[in-house]
């Protein structure tokens, strides 16, 4: 670990101000000073490795900064050791006094060392003496033995800094820890032996390959090992040389042998053999062996300089090991137990960082001065009574949560979760009307244009209906509700139209704005934004929300999602939000009949679609998911559409919808389907979210085994929105085992929560959310499914946060920095 002088100074100053009562550092100043002393010693000896100066340093000219310091260094060390015997108060003052001297010595030393470490002859800017200490944030070339060429190769693995390298973890380990004698070997085992080379020679095989053959003996027997095309090995495997060799025991002409085993000289500190051997992701030009060696050196040299983000007290109470041990063990574990402990510690840290970021976000958010809105209960009731239906109890509860929030002096930050079709849109509209009644604007963002377009239509027609009924009842609210302007920001607008719309938003002529996230974020400047609603965005993560909050004067925020998220996960990804759940569907919703059909039943499925259309209904046909690109997906949809139109349903009118169509064309296709002009809508999975066409009764999904449960549930939610019995037909060519499992589950379950949990269990969080899309920073060790660690970290984060929300106490300084670093790349959360 490097010595952080600033931090120490802050601690010491705080200690002095507190009257030297030793209350500043948890666990006492003694422990801190011990660690500090150790770090100071190693950094004075050699800031790179903690080892005594290397021979190269000793032979450098006397003018070099390195040599001139021998005396002050040892003096300081002596002083420091002296302090260690003295009482705390005395030590504090004395160490503070020595600090400056030590600091300047150390920085000179760093400068010299840096110059010495130059591996190429290009003149390089010499670091100024008062420059920063070598930190793990230095470029990876700071690691001894890594040149610029290797650095470039490492960059392909996402490694830029030394720290990146230390956190480049093996993706698996080969277990070469089973040490055996040659006599004990059996065919097929993965083992490690230690033996002395008896002889080694190069031979030519009959096919002209070069073969190196060595015989090893260990006192219990001897065995042959062979390698192809590495003739240089004979120079390394000299007679009498003791080596460790790991690999699978093979057989040749009835005798046991090793073929191309891993090996290394016996030194007592093994890298490639005789242990759990790390296997790193490979990249062009770096062999497994060279990356491993390089990593070994880097860890020895640099891991001790990592700052532990977790305060000692926390590590003790949670029974976690320190970061240096954890990093070492992640790379070169002593055994599987140590590896498990290392992983646990790092996993805990990542979850803690997530959680602290989320709590901090929530904390900051609560500090913001919001815009309390007046909610006139009487007016709201009048409007509700003018709706075409009665709100469900769950909708009323959600609305009450929201109105309570809107009245508060800090901005609302709420997640409204409700299964597909539970009626979130109307709740959103009512909330937006409250903003409008307060003379402010509201915005509703949708993930796709098609959905934005639909919201625009729903909102306008619902508003018209409400106004008419209010007028008929002679209610005063009819006036301003009738004047409420909804504006759609769509991609198909001409530049001039867009400019005009932008003006209307900026001047407040439009009260409610609807559009996609992208469009709204790029174009809209509001006159006075009071409420922002994000629809259908289970992937709209913490980071994106933070960006949204910068818009307007801290608008109230409501995020709506139909993807039910298991509790622990919700606390993580949405920990900055309060939660309302609509757990009840509007009455008289009929159950959708779901059938998984065999490929041979495709014709029957088509016949069923035909029959439904003859009965006046409509159908969706979803094309398979194609992951390569949406261009290929669109192309596939076009040809499927042509096939269905020409060969299967020549008598019906089909529409086609895919992601690469112009938005005007999309709107036209949707309009004609909504109006019943087309009977069947053939679509890529873009139709997944939100679409509401009550007359559609069949959802036919091709390649259904390729979709996740949550997505299939979304598709199914596109039908059964009107009064007619609806059907979901699933076709799969040759589903995998997991695919079959999913189809079986979706066929029998219509509970969105159960499906989401099942989805998470089956596919893992990576696919369920995708850390990128969820706005979470990259997780290197933790898996969202590690719910036990997640829960442990969550509680620890809450405790930390309750005691020190700003993480300002000295023992939390490193942790605060780490939270910032972790979240920094995602966004500036504060
Ligand atoms: P989602 O929660 O999936 O966004 P929507 O808001 O699109 O659901 O609502 C689905 C359908 O249910 C819409 O047609 C809407 O008009 C209707 N709806 C909403 N609330 C009620 C209710 N309380 N009673 C009857 N129908 C309702
Ligand atoms: Mg919706």
CA of 504 to the centre of ligand 2 (A): 26
Q: Atom 10 of ligand 1 has which residue's CA nearest to it?
A: 421
What whole-number distance in Å separates Cα of residue 96 and Cα of residue 76? 12
| Residue 575: φ, ψ to 5° | -60, -20
562 lines ligand 1 (CB under 6 A): yes
User: CB pairs under 8 A, 24+ apart, for 312-318?
Assistant: 312/26, 312/27, 312/31, 312/811, 313/26, 313/27, 313/811, 314/796, 314/800, 316/27, 318/348, 318/792, 318/796
pLDDT tens track for 172-210? 887 777 778 899 899 998 888 889 999 999 998 888 888
Percent of the chain whose pLDDT exceeds 70 = 76
Per residue, the 3-state secondary structure of 184-205, as one string, reads: HCCCCCEEEEEEEEEEEEEEEC
Which atom from ligand 1 is nearest to the alpha carbon of 422?
A: 2
Handedness of CA 335, 337, 342, 346 (dihedral sign): positive
- pLDDT for res 20: 64
More confident of the two residues 162 and 764: 162
User: In angstroms, rounded to a whole number, what is the distance separating the alpha carbons of residues 170 and 280?
Assistant: 4
Q: Is the CB of 716 under 6 A from ligand 1?
A: no
Distance CA 830, CA 823 (A): 10
Q: What is the pLDDT of residue 376?
A: 94
Q: Following DSSP, what letter does each residue of 320-383 receive, concatenated? A: ---HHHHHHHHHS-SSHHHHHHHHHHHHHHHHHHHHHHHHHHHHHHHHS---PPP--HHHHHHH
Q: Is the CB of 426 under 6 A from ligand 1?
A: yes
Please tell me the number of the ligand nearest to residue 588's CA.
Answer: 1
Substitution candidate for ligand 1 out of 586, 687, 720 with most atoms within 8 A of CB:
586
Residues 81 and 96: their CA atoms lie apart, in Å, by: 14
Q: How far is the CA of 273 from the centre of ligand 2 (A)?
A: 57
Q: Which residues pair with 681 in a beta bridge?
A: 620, 655
Residue 476 three-state SS: coil
Q: What's the CA gap between 449 and 442, in Å, rounded?
A: 18
The CA distance from 285 to 386, in Å, is: 70
Angle (CA) 423-426-430 rounded to 5° is: 145
Closest ligand to C-alpha of residue 723 is 1
pLDDT of residue 64: 37
- Give the number of the atom of ligand 1 that is nearest the alpha carbon of residue 458: 16
User: Which ligand number lies closest to the CA of residue 589?
Assistant: 1
For residue 369, how far is its CA from the centre of ligand 2 (angstroms)?
A: 30
Strand order in the sheet with 727-731: 593-597, 727-731, 696-701, 618-622, 680-683, 654-657
pLDDT at 395: 97
Q: Which atom of ligand 1 lies at the shortest distance from residue 694's CA?
A: 14
Q: 288 CB less than 6 Å from ligand 1?
A: no
Q: Whose CA is nearest to atom 16 of ligand 1?
A: 423
Closest atom of ligand 1 to CA, residue 392:
23
pTM of the model: 0.62
pLDDT at res. 98:
54
Ligand closest to Cα of 451 equals 2
Rounded to the nearest whole angstrom, what is the distance from the C-alpha of residue 535 to the centroid of ligand 2?
7
Q: Is the predicted pLDDT of residue 404 greater than 90, yes or no?
A: yes
Query: Is residue 720 in contact with ligand 1, taking CB distance under 6 Å?
Result: no
Q: What is the mean pLDDT of the chain?
A: 81
The confidence score (pLDDT) of residue 92 equals 54
Q: Which of 415, 421, 446 to mutate to test the pocket of ligand 1 (most atoms within 8 A of CB)?
A: 421
Q: Which atom of ligand 1 is nearest to the CA of 428?
A: 6
| C-alpha–C-alpha distance, residues 435 and 532, integer Å | 10
Mutating to test ligand 1, I would choose from 423, 582, 715 the residue with most ligand atoms within 8 A of its C-beta, which is 423
Tokens of 200: 């080694």
| CB of 425 closer than 6 angstroms to any ligand 1 atom | yes
Is residue 448 lining ligand 1, measured as CB closer than 6 Å? no
Give the pLDDT score at 561: 86
Q: How far is the CA of 450 from the centre of ligand 1 (A)?
A: 18
Q: How far is the CA of 562 from the centre of ligand 1 (A)?
A: 12
Collapsing DSSP to helix, strand or coil, 441 comes out as strand
Please state the atom number of ligand 1 nearest to the C-alpha of residue 425: 6
Report the separation in Å between the CA atom of 321 and the middle of ligand 2, taken as the mean of its atom positions.
Answer: 47
* 395 Cα nearest atom in ligand 1: 23
**pLDDT tens for each residue of 265-290:** 877 667 777 778 888 877 777 877 88
Q: Which two tokens stand for residue 194?
A: 């230690």
- Measured from the Cα of 535, ligand 1's closest atom is 4
Q: Specify the pLDDT at position 219.
A: 86
Q: Is 35 exposed, middle or buried (0-12, 13-18, 19+ CB in 10 A)?
A: middle
Q: Taking phi first (over 0 means left), then psi (-120 to 50 degrees means alpha), and beta for anything else, what does residue 786 get?
A: beta
Ligand 2 being an ion, which residues bring their Cβ within 5 A of it?
A: 690
- Among 332-336, 786-790, 804-808, the range scoring the smallest mean pLDDT is 786-790
Place of tokens 């009835």: 254
Q: How far apart are CA 692 and CA 712, in angstroms?
A: 16
Cβ neighbours, 10 Å, residue 595: 15
Query: What distance in Å separates the CA atoms of residue 498 and residue 506, rounded to the nearest whole number?
Result: 12
The protein residue whose alpha carbon is closest to atom 23 in ligand 1 is 391
pLDDT reported for residue 759: 76
In the prediction, which pLDDT does 59 show?
A: 33
Indicate whether residue 719 lines ligand 1 (CB < 6 A): no
pLDDT higher for 517 or 675?
Answer: 675
418 lines ligand 1 (CB under 6 A): yes
Mean pLDDT of 733-757: 86
Task: Kindly tell me if the per-residue pLDDT of 104 is higher than 90.
Answer: no
- Higher local confidence (pLDDT), 523 or 810: 810
* pLDDT bracket for residue 736 (50, 70, 90): confident
pLDDT at residue 146 above 80?
yes
Angle, helices 449-472/377-385, rounded to nearest 10 degrees: 100
Q: Give 620-629 pLDDT, tens digit per residue.
A: 999 987 776 7
241 to 196, 237, 664: CA distances (angstroms)? 6, 6, 77
Instruction: Tell me if 692 CB under 6 Å of ligand 1.
Output: yes
List the residue whose alpha carbon is closest to atom 4 of ligand 1.
Answer: 424
Most confident of 191-200, 382-391, 566-575: 382-391
Is 389 a pocket residue for ligand 1 (Cβ < 6 Å)? yes
Closest residue (by CA) to atom 26 of ligand 1? Answer: 586
What the block records as the tokens of 624 is 């398979």
Nearest CA among 620, 544, 601 for reference residue 828? 544
Determine what percent of the chain is predicted with pLDDT higher than 90: 39
What is the C-alpha to C-alpha distance for residues 595 and 602, in angstroms, rounded to an integer?
12
Residue range 225-233: average pLDDT? 90
Backbone angles phi, psi at 631, to 5 degrees: -70, -50
Banded pLDDT at 111 (limits 50, 70, 90)? very low
- Residue count of the chain, please give it: 830
> Cα(167) to centroid of ligand 2, in Å?
41
Predicted pLDDT at 286: 80
Looking at residue 105, what is its pLDDT? 41
The reply to whether ligand 1 has any atom less than 6 angstroms from the CB of 718 is no
Whether 721 is in the pocket of ligand 1, judged by its Cβ within 6 Å, is yes
Q: Which of 41-50, 118-127, 549-558 has the highest mean pLDDT?
A: 549-558
Would you give the DSSP letter of residue 818?
A: H
Position 161 scores a pLDDT of: 93
Q: Reduce the DSSP state of residue 709 to 3 states and report it.
A: helix
User: What residues are paired with 201 via a beta bridge?
Assistant: 213
CA distance 138 to 162: 6
Q: Name the 3-class secondary structure at 696.
A: strand
E strand intervals along 542-605: 556-561, 578-582, 593-597
Determine the 3-state secondary structure of 737 from DSSP.
helix
- pLDDT per residue as tens digits for the range 2-40: 455 556 666 666 666 555 666 666 556 666 666 666 665
Among 74-88, 343-357, 535-549, the least confident range: 74-88
* 465 touches 540 (CB < 8 A): no
The predicted structure's pLDDT at residue 120: 37
Higher pLDDT, 708 or 348: 348
Rounded CA separation 696/688 (Å): 14
Which sign does the torsion angle of CA 312, 315, 318, 319 carry?
negative
Distances (CA, A) of 521 to 368, 435, 513: 21, 20, 12
257 pairs with which residues across the strands? 224, 250
- The predicted pLDDT at position 493 comes to 78
Q: In this predicted structure, what is the pLDDT of residue 321?
A: 95
Q: Is the pLDDT of residue 309 over 50?
A: yes
Element (H, E) at 790: helix 787-803
Q: How far is the CA of 424 from the centre of ligand 2 (A)?
A: 6
Instruction: Indicate if ligand 1 lies below 6 Å from the C-beta of 575.
Output: no
> What pLDDT is stored for residue 370 in this prediction?
83
Q: Does residue 586's CB lie within 6 angstroms of at least one atom of ligand 1?
A: yes
Model confidence over 758-783: pLDDT tens digits? 777 676 555 555 444 445 566 777 76
pLDDT of residue 331: 94
- CA distances 566 to 392, 785, 794, Å, are 24, 10, 15
Q: In ligand 1, which atom is closest to the CA atom of 391? A: 23
pLDDT band at 558 (very low <50, low <70, confident <90, very high): very high
């Amino acid at each position: 670990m490097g010595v952080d002088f600033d931090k120490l100074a802050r601690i010491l100053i705080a200690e002095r101000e507190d009257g030297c009562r030793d209350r500043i550092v948890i666990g006492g100043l003694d422990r801190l000073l011990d660690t500090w002393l150790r770090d100071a010693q190693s950094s004075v000896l050699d800031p790179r490795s903690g080892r005594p100066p290397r021979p190269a340093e000793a032979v450098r000219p006397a003018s070099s900064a390195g040599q001139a310091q021998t005396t002050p260094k040892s003096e300081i060390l002596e002083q420091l050791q002296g302090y260690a015997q003295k009482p705390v108060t005395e030590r504090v003052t004395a160490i503070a006094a020595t600090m400056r001297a030590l600091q300047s010595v150390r920085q000179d030393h760093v400068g010299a060392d840096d110059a010495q470490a130059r591996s190429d002859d290009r003149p390089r800017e010499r670091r100024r003496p008062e420059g920063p200490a070598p930190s793990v944030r230095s470029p990876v070339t700071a690691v001894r033995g890594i040149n610029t060429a290797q650095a470039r190769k490492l960059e392909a693995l996402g490694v830029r800094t030394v720290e990146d390298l230390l956190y480049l973890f093996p993706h698996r380990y080969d277990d070469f820890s089973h040490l055996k004698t040659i006599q004990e070997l059996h065919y097929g085992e993965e083992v490690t032996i230690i033996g002395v080379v008896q002889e080694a020679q190069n031979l030519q095989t009959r096919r002209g390959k070069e073969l190196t053959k060595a015989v090893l003996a260990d006192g219990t027997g001897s065995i042959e090992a062979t390698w192809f095309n590495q003739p240089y090995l004979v120079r390394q495997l000299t007679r009498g040389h003791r080596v460790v060799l790991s690999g699978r025991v093979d057989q040749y002409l009835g005798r046991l042998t090793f073929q191309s085993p891993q090996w290394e000289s016996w030194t007592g500190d093994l890298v490639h053999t005789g242990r759990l051997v790390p296997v790193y992701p490979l990249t062009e030009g770096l062999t497994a062996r060279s990356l491993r060696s390089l990593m070994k050196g880097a860890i020895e040299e640099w891991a001790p300089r990592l700052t532990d983000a977790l305060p000692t007290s926390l590590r003790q109470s949670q029974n976690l090991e320190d970061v240096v041990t954890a990093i070492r063990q992640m790379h070169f574990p002593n055994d599987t137990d140590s590896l498990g402990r290392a992983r646990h510690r790092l996993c805990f840290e990542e979850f803690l960082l997530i959680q602290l970021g989320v709590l901090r976000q929530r904390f900051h958010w609560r500090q913001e001065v919001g815009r309390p809105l007046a909610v006139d209960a009487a007016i709201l009731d009048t409007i509700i009574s003018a709706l075409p239906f009665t709100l469900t109890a769950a909708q009323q509860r959600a609305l009450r949560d929201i109105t309570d929030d809107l009245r508060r002096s800090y901005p609302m930050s709420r997640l409204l979760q409700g299964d597909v079709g539970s009626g979130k849109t109307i709740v959103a509209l009512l909330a937006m009307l409250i903003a409008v009644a307060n003379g402010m604007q509201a915005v509703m963002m949708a993930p796709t244009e098609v959905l934005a377009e639909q919201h625009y239509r729903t909102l306008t027609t619902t508003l018209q209906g409400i106004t008419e009924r209010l007028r008929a009842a002679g209610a005063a609210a009819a006036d301003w509700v009738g004047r409420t302007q909804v504006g759609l920001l769509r991609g198909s607008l001409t530049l001039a139209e867009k400019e005009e719309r932008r003006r209307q938003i900026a001047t407040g002529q439009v009260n409610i704005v609807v559009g996609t996230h992208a469009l709204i974020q790029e174009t809209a400047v509001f006159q006075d934004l009071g409420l922002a609603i994000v629809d259908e965005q289970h992937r709209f993560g913490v980071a994106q929300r933070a960006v949204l909050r910068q818009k307007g004067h801290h608008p109230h925020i409501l995020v709506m999602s139909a993807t039910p998220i298991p509790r622990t996960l919700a606390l993580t990804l949405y920990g900055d939000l309060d939660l309302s759940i609509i757990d009840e569907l509007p009455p008289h919703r009929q159950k959708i009949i779901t059938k998984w059909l065999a490929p041979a039943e495709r014709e029957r499925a088509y016949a069923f679609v035909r029959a439904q259309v003859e009965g006046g209904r409509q159908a969706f046909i979803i094309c398979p998911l194609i992951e390569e690109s949406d261009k290929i997906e669109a192309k596939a949809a076009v040809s499927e559409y042509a096939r269905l139109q020409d060969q299967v349903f020549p008598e019906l009118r089909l529409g086609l919808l895919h992601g690469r169509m112009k938005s005007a064309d999309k709107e036209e296709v949707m309009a004609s389907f909504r109006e019943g002009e087309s009977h069947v809508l053939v679509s890529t999975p873009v139709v997944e979210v939100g679409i509401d066409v009550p007359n559609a009764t069949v959802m036919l999904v091709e390649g259904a085994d390729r979709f996740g449960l949550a997505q299939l549930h979304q598709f199914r939610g596109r039908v059964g929105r009107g009064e007619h019995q609806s059907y979901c037909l699933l076709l799969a060519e040759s589903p995998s085992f997991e695919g079959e499992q999913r189809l079986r589950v979706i066929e029998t379950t219509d509970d969105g929560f159960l499906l989401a949990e099942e989805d998470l269990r089956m596919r893992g969080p990576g696919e369920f959310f995708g850390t990128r899309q969820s706005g979470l920073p990259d997780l290197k060790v933790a898996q969202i499914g590690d719910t036990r660690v997640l829960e442990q970290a969550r509680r620890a984060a809450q405790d930390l946060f309750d005691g020190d929300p700003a993480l300002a106490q000295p023992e939390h300084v490193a942790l605060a920095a780490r939270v910032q670093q972790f979240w920094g790349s995602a966004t500036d959360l504060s």
